[in-house]
C-alpha cells in the first residue's frame, strides 16, 4: 500500500475542492476539464469531477476478459483478505468475479503458517531461524531433512500454488485500483489497496524454494516449471498500473533469475534440457517498461490528489495527522483563490518531461535527461526548505496565478516518483536477463564441447543469435573462463569495473555477475 510524505500535512490545508465543514457543503470544481489540465475528459461524475479511478481502470482492463486475466486466479489463491485487507466490492466487479468465499484452500505465507500450524510467534529466535531457512531454500538445493518445517509449509500450499502456476499461463493481468470509502467520503486513487502485490512476492518465495527442493530430489523438469512460472508471474505483475507493481514484478523476476543459476549449477541438465531451458527463457515476453506506469497510473494518481474532494480530512489522513476540528478560515478562503488550471498544467508538464526522458532509447542520453530532472526536483524542493509553511508562502502571494505556481511547485517536489531510480531498476533486470541467457548458452556449449569457450563470440549464432553487450558500459560483457567455470559480469549502474563484486559481496560492488560454480552461501 502507498504512503505519502508527512509534507502533505501542510498540503491538506489547501489542496481541497470540497467539504469545508461537517455539513459537507460542496464546492464546485475550480478547474477546467481538458487535455492540458485534467488530461482526460471523462468519465465525469454528477458534480463535475473526473472519476480518475474509473478512467484508469477502463484503460488498464480494456479488452481483458475474466477468463484471460491471471489476477482472477491469483485472487482465488489469495483468498478474500490478503494482508488482512478488506477489498471494496467494486474491486471484484471490475474483475468480473464474485469475492472469494471466506473459507478455502488459500495460500499461507510462512509467518501465518508458523503461527497457526507450528505455534511459533514471529520475532522469536525460532521464527528468525525459519525465515533464514526459507531464504536459503530459495537459493540452493535442499532436502526435507535439511528444513522439515519449510517442506511442511510447501506441502500445505500445494493447492494454491497449483492455481498460481495456472494463473501465470494466462495472457493478461488486470489489477483494478479502487478507492476505499467511508462515511467521510472516498480515499481517492492514493488510497487504493494493493495487498495482492505483496502476496506475489510470497508466491515467488514458495515457487523458487520448491524448485530447489525438486532439484535435490532429481526432478529437474518439475523444478524448471516452477522457475518458469515465477518468471511469468513477475512479468504479469509488472503490467499493473502502478510503479509499486512494476517494481515488485522486477523483484520477482530477479528472485527467479538467481534460482535459475542454482538450477543450472546443481541440476546438471542434459544438453537437450539445456537447449529447451534456453528456448523457454528466450520466449518469455520482456518485462514491461515502467514508463507506461508513470505516464498513466502515476499521472492519474497525481492529478487525482490535486482534484480530490476529501479536503483537509483526506490529506490529513494520508499524512497520519488528525483532522482539525475547525477548518482554518484563511486556508478555506485560499481554496477559492488559487489558479488550479495552472497547477494541473504544471503537473502535466513535469509528467510529460519525465515520460519523454524515459522513452529515450539511447541509455547515456536517457541518463542525462533523467539526471537533469532529478537535479531540478531537488532544486525545487530546496527552494522551499526553511521558508515556513505552505500556507504562509501562499499568503505572501497576491494573485491566484502566483499562488498556483507555489502550490504546484511544492506538490511536484514532494509527490512525483523518483523515476531515475525506477529506470535504473528496470535497466538492471534487463541486464540480468541478458546475463542469464549467456549463462545458459555457455552451459549448452560446455555440454557439447566439454569445456567453456575462450571467448563469448563462440556462442553466436548457434546458441545465441547475438551475444549481448553490457547495457551500462556499451562494451562487451567481461568474461573470465577457467578450467571448471567462469566469471561473467556487467559493470552495473555505476559504470565501474569492480572485478565482478555485487552488493552481496564483501566488500560490496555494483557489478551484475554470474559465477559458475556458484559461491557458497554464508554460513548459518
Q: Which residue among 417, 441, 474 closes a domain?
A: 417
Q: Are residues 275 and 355 in the same domain?
A: no
- Averaged pLDDT for residues 325-348: 75
**314 alpha-carbon distance from chain centroid:** 25
pLDDT beyond 50 at 11: no
For residue 43, pLDDT over 90 is answered with yes
Q: Is residue 313 part of a domain?
A: yes
Which positions ≥6 away from 446 have C-beta within 8 Å?
A: 452
Q: Which of 10-24, 36-50, 466-480 has the highest mean pLDDT?
A: 466-480
Nine cell digits for residue 28: 464546485
Of residues 47 and 294, more confidence is placed in 294
If you average pLDDT over residues 490-494, what whole number do you get? 96
Mean pLDDT of all residues in 152-178: 98
Q: Tell me the pLDDT tens digit for each residue of 197-206.
A: 999 999 999 9
Q: What is the DSSP letter of 519?
A: P
Read off the pLDDT band of 403 (50, 70, 90).
confident
Mean pLDDT calculated for residue range 13-34: 53
CA 398 to chain centre: 42
Q: Are 340 and 487 in the same domain?
A: no
Query: Does 498 or 23 have the greater pLDDT score?
Result: 498
Cα gap 358→290, rounded to integer Å: 9
In this structure, the answer to whether residues 159 and 13 fall within a common structural domain is no
Residue numbers of the domain that contains 43: 8-49+309-417
pLDDT at 149 (0 to 100):
98
Confidence label for 5 from pLDDT (cuts 50, 70 and 90):
very low
> Alpha helices of 79-176 — where are they, by DSSP H?
89-95, 110-113, 125-137, 148-156, 158-167
Q: Which three cell numbers stand for residue 260?
A: 535459475
Q: Which residues of 280-298 are buried (b: 16+ CB within 10 A; e: fewer)?
A: ebeeeeebbbbbbbbbbbb
- Model confidence at 13, pLDDT cuts 50, 70, 90, reads very low
Beta-carbon contacts of 334 under 8 Å, excluding residues fewer than 6 positions away, are 14, 391, 394, 395, 403
For residues 376 and 316, give the distance between their C-alpha atoms in angstroms, rounded to a whole number. Answer: 28
Domain count, the chain: 3
Alpha-carbon gap, residue 59 to 189, rounded angstroms: 15
Taking the alpha carbons of 288, 508, 421, 197 in that order, is the dihedral positive or negative?
Answer: positive
pLDDT exceeds 70 at position 6: no
State the DSSP code for 477: P
3-state DSSP helix/strand/coil % of the chain, to nearest 5: 55, 5, 40
Burial (CB count <10 Å: 0-12, 13-18, 19+), residue 126 = middle
Indicate the pLDDT class of residue 352, thresholds 50, 70 and 90.
very high
Q: What is the pLDDT of residue 243?
A: 96
- H/E element, 489: strand 486-490
Nearest CA among 162, 161, 132 for reference residue 146: 132
Q: Are residues 152 and 246 in the same domain?
A: yes
* Strand (E) or helix (H) holding 513: strand 512-516
Q: Residue 477: is its pLDDT beyond 90?
A: yes
Please give the pLDDT value at position 42: 94
Whole-number pLDDT of residue 322: 45
C-alpha cell read off for 100: 472469494
In this structure, the answer to whether residues 383 and 475 fall within a common structural domain is no
Mean pLDDT on 21-48: 78
Q: Report whether pLDDT(18) > 50.
A: no
Considering the domain boundaries, does residue 445 fall inside one?
Answer: no
Sequence length of the chain is 524
pLDDT band at 12 (very low <50, low <70, confident <90, very high): very low
User: Which sign, positive or negative, has the C-alpha torsion 493, 499, 504, 506?
Assistant: negative
| CB crowding 70-80: b at 16 or more within 10 Å, else e | bbbbbbbbbbb
Whether the predicted pLDDT of 141 surpasses 80: yes
Residues 45 and 143 placed together within one structural domain of the fold: no
Residues 6 or more apart whose CB falls under 8 angstroms from that of 380 comprise 409, 412, 413
pLDDT in tens, 213-272: 999 999 999 999 999 999 999 999 999 999 999 999 999 999 999 999 999 999 989 999
Q: Is residue 67 one of the residues assigned to a domain? A: yes
Kindly state whether residues 404 and 474 are assigned to the same domain: no
Residues 314 and 185 sit within 8 Å (Cβ to Cβ): yes
Is 233 found in the same domain as 195? Answer: yes
Instruction: Please tell me the distance from the alpha carbon of residue 506 to that of residue 521, in angstroms, as a whole number.
Output: 13
Which band of pLDDT confidence, cut at 50, 70 and 90, is reported for residue 337? confident
Residue 270 lies in a domain: yes
Judge whether 516 lies within some domain: yes
**121 shares its domain with 221:** yes
The span from the CA of 295 to the CA of 481, in Å, is 43
Q: Is there a contact between 184 and 214 (Cβ–Cβ < 8 Å)?
A: no
What's the pLDDT score for residue 97? 97
**Cα–Cα distances in Å, from 127 out to 79, 132, 198, 455?**
24, 9, 20, 47
Domain membership flag for residue 219: yes
Q: For residue range 222-236, what is the model confidence (pLDDT) as tens digits?
A: 999 999 999 999 999
Report the pLDDT value the prediction gives residue 4, as an integer from 0 to 100: 33
Q: Look at residue 331 and tell me whether its pLDDT is greater than 80.
A: no
Same domain, 328 and 183: no
Does one domain contain both 83 and 134?
yes
Whether 15 maps to a domain, the answer reads: yes
Do residue 377 and residue 523 come from a single domain?
Answer: no
Q: The pTM is what?
A: 0.91
pLDDT mean across residues, the chain? 88
Position 409 in a domain: yes
The answer to whether the CB of 366 falls within 8 A of the CB of 399 is: no
Amino acid at each position: 500500500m502507498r504512503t505519502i510524505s508527512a509534507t502533505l500535512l501542510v498540503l491538506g490545508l489547501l489542496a481541497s475542492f470540497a467539504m469545508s465543514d461537517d455539513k459537507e457543503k460542496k464546492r464546485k470544481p475550480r478547474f477546467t476539464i481538458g487535455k492540458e489540465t485534467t488530461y482526460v475528459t471523462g468519465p465525469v461524475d454528477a458534480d463535475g469531477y473526473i472519476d480518475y479511478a474509473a478512467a484508469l481502470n477502463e484503460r488498464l482492463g480494456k479488452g481483458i476478459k475474466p477468463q484471460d486475466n491471471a489476477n482472477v486466479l491469483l485472487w482465488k489463491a489469495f483468498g478474500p483478505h490478503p494482508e488482512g485487507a478488506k477489498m471494496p466490492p467494486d474491486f471484484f466487479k471490475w474483475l468480473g468475479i464474485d469475492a472469494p468465499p471466506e473459507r478455502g484452500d488459500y495460500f499461507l505465507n510462512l509467518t501465518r503458517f508458523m503461527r497457526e500450524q507450528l505455534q511459533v510467534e514471529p520475532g522469536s529466535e525460532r521464527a528468525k531461524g525459519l525465515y533464514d531457512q526459507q531464504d536459503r531454500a530459495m537459493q540452493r538445493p535442499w532436502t526435507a531433512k535439511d528444513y522439515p518445517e519449510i517442506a511442511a509449509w510447501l506441502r500445505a500450499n500445494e493447492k494454491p500454488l497449483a492455481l498460481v502456476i495456472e494463473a501465470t499461463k494466462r495472457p493478461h493481468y488486470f489489477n483494478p485500483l479502487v478507492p476505499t470509502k467511508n462515511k467521510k467520503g472516498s480515499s481517492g486513487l492514493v488510497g487504493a489497496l494493493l495487498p495482492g502485490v505483496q502476496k506475489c512476492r510470497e508466491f515467488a518465495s514458495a515457487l523458487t524454494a520448491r524448485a530447489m527442493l525438486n532439484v535435490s530430489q532429481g526432478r529437474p523438469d518439475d523444478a524448471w516449471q516452477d522457475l518458469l512460472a515465477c518468471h511469468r508471474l513477475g512479468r504479469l505483475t509488472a503490467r499493473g498500473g502502478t510503479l509499486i507493481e512494476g517494481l515488485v514484478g522486477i523483484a520477482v523476476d530477479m528472485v527467479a533469475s538467481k534460482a535459475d543459476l542454482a538450477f543450472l549449477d546443481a541440476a546438471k541438465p542434459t544438453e537437450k534440457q539445456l537447449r529447451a531451458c534456453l528456448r523457454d527463457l528466450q520466449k518469455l515476453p520482456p518485462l514491461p517498461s515502467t514508463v507506461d506506469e508513470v505516464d498513466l497510473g502515476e499521472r492519474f494518481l497525481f492529478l487525482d490528489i490535486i482534484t480530490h474532494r476529501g479536503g483537509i480530512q483526506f490529506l490529513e489522513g494520508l499524512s497520519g495527522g488528525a483532522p482539525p476540528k475547525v477548518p482554518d478560515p484563511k486556508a478555506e478562503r485560499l481554496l477559492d483563490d488559487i489558479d488550479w488550471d495552472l497547477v494541473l498544467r504544471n503537473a502535466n508538464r513535469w509528467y510529460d518531461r519525465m515520460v519523454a526522458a524515459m522513452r529515450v532509447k539511447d541509455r547515456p542520453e536517457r541518463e542525462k535527461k533523467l539526471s537533469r530532472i532529478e537535479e531540478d526536483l531537488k532544486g525545487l524542493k530546496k527552494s522551499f526548505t526553511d521558508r515556513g509553511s505552505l500556507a504562509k508562502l501562499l499568503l505572501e502571494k497576491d494573485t491566484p496565478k502566483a499562488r498556483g505556481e507555489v502550490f504546484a511547485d511544492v506538490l511536484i517536489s514532494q509527490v512525483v516518483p523518483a523515476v531515475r531510480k525506477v529506470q535504473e531498476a528496470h535497466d538492471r533486470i534487463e541486464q540480468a536477463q541478458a546475463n542469464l541467457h549467456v549463462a545458459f548458452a555457455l552451459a549448452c556449449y560446455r555440454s557439447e564441447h566439454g569445456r567453456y569457450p575462450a571467448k563469448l563470440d563462440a556462442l553466436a549464432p548457434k546458441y545465441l543469435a547475438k551475444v549481448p553487450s553490457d547495457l551500462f558500459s556499451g562494451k562487451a560483457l567481461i568474461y573470465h573462463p577457467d578450467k571448471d567455470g567462469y566469471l561473467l559480469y556487467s559493470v552495473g549502474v555505476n559504470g565501474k569495473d569492480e572485478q565482478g563484486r555485487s552488493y552481496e559481496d564483501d566488500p560490496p560492488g555494483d557489478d551484475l555477475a554470474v559465477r559458475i560454480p556458484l559461491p557458497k552461501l554464508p554460513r548459518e
